[in-house]
Amino acid sequence: MTFTYVVTYFLVALTCSVVATVILNQLTSDMGTELEVRSFRSYVAWYLVFALTNAVWVWINYGFLHLPGTIFSVVNLVAICMASYYWFSYVELRLDSDRVMGAAFRVVSLIPLVVAILLVVTTPLTHLVFHYEGESYIHGPLYSTMAILAILYLVAASIDLGLHFSQVQSPSQRRQYATLIWFLLFPVVGGVVDIFIPNLPVMELMLLIGTSLVYTNMQHSRIYSDALTGLNNRRLADEYLLNRIAIASEENPLYLFMCDANLFKNVNDKYGHSEGDRALCTIAQALREAAGPTHCHISRWGGDEFVLIGDATSIPVPEELMDSIQTRLSEIAQERELPYGLSLSMGYATCTNPKAKASDLMKQADKAMYEAKHRAHAELAS
């Protein structure tokens, strides 16, 4: 029976490792900001180490493999602590990247991780977290303390997610936050099961299910939304524009706005792509806050270009909307203390013919935007 149990545990842990490896290899840079993708990738990598060390540890623990169990146990516990930290980092970046990039936040958030890892790596000498009696793995007096320090990251992420979920109005953001909240339920279930039925590979399975859920949501979000900014993407903008053109009229004209960030390449070249991501997210926030009340469609068109689509019912004076966007963008840039200025070149086209071609409307708006960009660059150069 023991051998059957060990083989079963090993196969479950190995399967989890294979699936995690597939997810890790499939993660691409367009699934979020550079820092978000890096944090999620680090979380999956450490989960993989956790699952692999469990796959080996079970053979050691039951005497079928004669290797130093202490080393594998230390690596296993370090891995779960690191995975918890990077999950927390990923969630916080999704919720408020500006706060996470602050030095104070990063220092404070690292304290539980550093303490937990110090307890683990010194335990071969102190026996405070665990020790072996023969081939038996025994919890030490501070095992629960180490576990609580790791769990703190999941608790903090849960609280922050709940607060943001209750405040956000965007349906797409609410769905994304809901998925992250669902993830956190799986390790809780795994922990409860482990209390009543210990020594099962339940935590590996629960974490893998939660990870797969988040990864699937990241993949699905790419269909109609922009992973970096959370706005709609070009594909949805194309479909929406076609539908709105069909009901445009003289009485209720349709407006198509094209927006392009001024001197955006300078931000990337001077401050790096992470700061470039931050600038794009700042622009997206300004668009949502300034244009959101008009109920117009807002999309990231690609690169540093954005599209707004609305009609005269919601946008009586297009010039006023463009002014309000510029004003709000400047305010947010100041609030975030960005080391550079942000502004947009904007142009728009008007459609009153339901038989008009979307491509023609785009060309008109694009031309107006580039005329504004030439004026902006001339002013910035003078």
In the prediction, which pLDDT does 30 show? Answer: 67
**Residue at 12 is within a domain:** yes
**Residue at 228 is within a domain:** no
Determine the 3-state secondary structure of 309 from DSSP: strand
Determine the 3-state secondary structure of 33 from DSSP: coil
- State mean pLDDT over 19-35: 84
- Give the sign of the dihedral formed by CA 72, CA 77, CA 81, CA 87: positive
Mean per-residue pLDDT over the chain, rounded: 88
Question: Which helix (H) or strand (E) segment is 183 a member of?
Answer: helix 171-196
Domain boundary (185, 204, 223) is at 223
Q: Encode pLDDT of 172-193 as tens digits.
A: 677 788 888 888 888 888 888 8
Does one domain contain both 263 and 199? no
Single-letter amino acid, residue 291: A
Asked whether residue 325 carries a pLDDT value surpassing 70, the answer given is yes
d(CA 228, CA 235): 15
In the prediction, which pLDDT does 171 show? Answer: 66
d(CA 130, CA 74): 9
Domain boundary (203, 223, 243) is at 223
**Residue at 210 is within a domain:** yes
In the prediction, which pLDDT does 226 show? Answer: 84
Asked whether residue 310 carries a pLDDT value surpassing 70, the answer given is yes
Does one domain contain both 184 and 51? yes
Does one domain contain both 266 and 218? no
User: Is the Cβ–Cβ distance between 338 and 270 less than 8 Å?
Assistant: no
Does one domain contain both 142 and 274? no
CATH number reported for the structural domain that contains residue 58 in this entry: 1.20.1070.10
Instruction: Grade residue 273 by pLDDT with cuts at 50, 70 and 90.
Output: confident
Asked whether residue 285 carries a pLDDT value surpassing 80, the answer given is yes
How deeply is 173 buried, as exposed, middle or buried, from its count of CB atoms within 10 A (0-12, 13-18, 19+)?
middle
Q: Encode pLDDT of 229-253 as tens digits.
A: 888 888 889 988 998 898 899 888 9
Radius of gyration of the chain, Cα coordinates, nearest whole angstrom: 26
d(CA 298, CA 21): 36
**CA angle, 172 as apex, 170 and 177 as ends, to 5°?**
95
User: Is the Cβ–Cβ distance between 117 and 81 less than 8 Å?
Assistant: yes
Helix, strand, coil percentages in the chain from 3-state DSSP, rounded to 5: 70, 10, 20
Q: How far is CA 152 from the centre of its chain?
A: 20
**Residue at 62 is within a domain:** yes
Does one domain contain both 246 and 216? no
Identify the CA nearest to 345 among candidates 272, 268, 257. Answer: 257
Both tokens of 137, joined, read 């793995």
Q: Please report the DSSP string for 249-284 in residue order.
A: -SSS-EEEEEEEETTHHHHHHHH-HHHHHHHHHHHH
Does one domain contain both 192 and 288? no
Q: Encode pLDDT of 349-368 as tens digits.
A: 999 999 999 999 999 999 99
**Residue at 150 is within a domain:** yes
Does one domain contain both 284 and 187? no
Q: What whole-number percentage of the chain has pLDDT above 90?
A: 47
- Give the dihedral of Cα atoms 219, 220, 225, 228; nearest 10 deg: -20
d(CA 266, CA 381): 13
**Residue at 229 is within a domain:** no
Instruction: Grade residue 381 by pLDDT with cuts at 50, 70 and 90.
Output: low
Least confident span in 47-56, 114-123, 294-303 = 294-303
CATH number reported for the structural domain that contains residue 327 in this entry: 3.30.70.270
- Supply the DSSP symbol for 68: -
Q: Please report the DSSP string for 83-136 in residue order.
A: HHHHHHHHHHHHH-HHHHTSHHHHHHHHHHHHHHHHHHHTHHHH-SSEEEETTE
Both tokens of 355, joined, read 């038989």
Does one domain contain both 251 and 339? yes
Does one domain contain both 91 and 218? yes
Pairing of strands 130-133, 254-261: unpaired
Does one domain contain both 15 and 140? yes
Q: Encode pLDDT of 115-162 as tens digits.
A: 999 999 999 999 999 988 877 788 899 999 999 999 999 989 989 888
**Residue at 190 is within a domain:** yes
- Give the sign of the dihedral formed by CA 272, CA 33, CA 278, CA 159: negative
Domain boundary (204, 223, 242) is at 223
- Give the dihedral of Cα atoms 216, 222, 226, 232; nearest 10 deg: -110
Instruction: Grade residue 53 by pLDDT with cuts at 50, 70 and 90.
Output: very high
In the prediction, which pLDDT does 174 show? Answer: 78
Does one domain contain both 304 and 269? yes
**Residue at 61 is within a domain:** yes
In the prediction, which pLDDT does 362 show? Answer: 93
In the prediction, which pLDDT does 87 show? Answer: 95
If one counts the domains in the chain, the total is 2
In the prediction, which pLDDT does 169 show? Answer: 65
In the prediction, which pLDDT does 198 show? Answer: 78
Determine the 3-state secondary structure of 310 from DSSP: strand
In the prediction, which pLDDT does 380 show? Answer: 62
Does one domain contain both 189 and 318? no
Range of the domain at 357: 234-381
